[in-house]
Amino acid sequence: QVQLQQWGAGLLKPSETLSLTCAVYGGSFSDYFWSWIRQPPGKGLEWIGEINHSGNTNYNPSLKNRVTMSGDTSKNQFSLRLDSVTAADTAAYYCASVYCGGGSCYSATFNFWGQGTLVTVSS
Amino acid sequence: QSVLTQSPSASGTPGQRVTISCSGSSSNIGSNTVNWYQQLPGTAPKLLIYSNNQRPSGVPGRFSGSKSGTSASLAISGLQSEDEVDYYCAAWDDSLNVVVFGGGTKVTVL
């Protein structure tokens, strides 16, 4: 069973860069697609984007200009970078694996999740 | 404002059947499968139903999902106190090219 462990800075100032990493255990980064999802305090879930084992990415257009996702096959990790953060980016950020089966991957099916990282943006 | 529409709350007494609805459009629910997530306070969401009506291993059989047209439903049969948490629906949207979520439904066990 895949387990995801994530880490990164929890307190940022406006205009700084958010950087989170998610390590994959019990599975291979090369075998699946991987996503980042965030949840502002007391609010619903927002999909940030996904990356596959080939390094191909697909970002939410609402964040596209500020988001970069990358993967490291050798370390079995993938990362999220969000530039120029503001208070509106304050949220719990989750990494998640995308379910793949029968030769297809289903972008809205997140079968395993990291524990979450609360990122607060405040001056 | 979420692309998928869920009622903010639902309630029932222990043992009752509760249904949560998720309404979308032809570009999301109408053309893609629906997934449901359960979220306990302070924890990551957990996949509860995938591909409209499939339960991952370990999910109790009292949770079931269905889809018709541009709407989907999650049913909880035999409601238990531990079911008093938040539930979210999700699907891919072909027009927006993003995963879209419902705003979430909080279930209360009376």
> Is pLDDT at A78 greater than 90 in this prediction?
yes
Query: What is the C-alpha radius of gyration for chain A, rounded to an integer number of angstroms?
Result: 14
* pLDDT number for residue B49: 97
Option in B50, B92, B101 nearest A99 (CB): B50
Q: Please state which of the ranges A98-102, B9-13, B36-40, B52-56 shows the lowest mean pLDDT.
A: A98-102
Decide if B44 and A94 are in contact by the 8 Å CB cutoff.
yes
- How big is the CA angle at B35 (ends B64 and B9), to the nearest 5 degrees? 70
Residues of A in contact with B27 (CB under 8 A): none
Q: How far apart are CA B53 and CA B64, in angstroms?
A: 6
Structure tokens at B8: 């903010």
Q: What is the pLDDT of residues B32-54, one digit of tens each?
A: 999 999 999 999 999 999 999 99
The shortest CB-CB distance from B98 to any of A60, A109, A114 is to A60
Tokens matching residue B40? 């306990």
Residue A103 confidence (pLDDT) above 90: no
Of B51, B88, B99, the CB nearest to A44: B88
The predicted model gives B16-39 an average pLDDT of 97
Task: Name A79's Cβ contacts closer than 8 Å, sequence gap at least 6.
Answer: A19, A20, A21, A22, A69, A70, A71, A72
Q: Which residues of B touch A106 (CB under 8 A)?
A: 33, 35, 50-51, 92
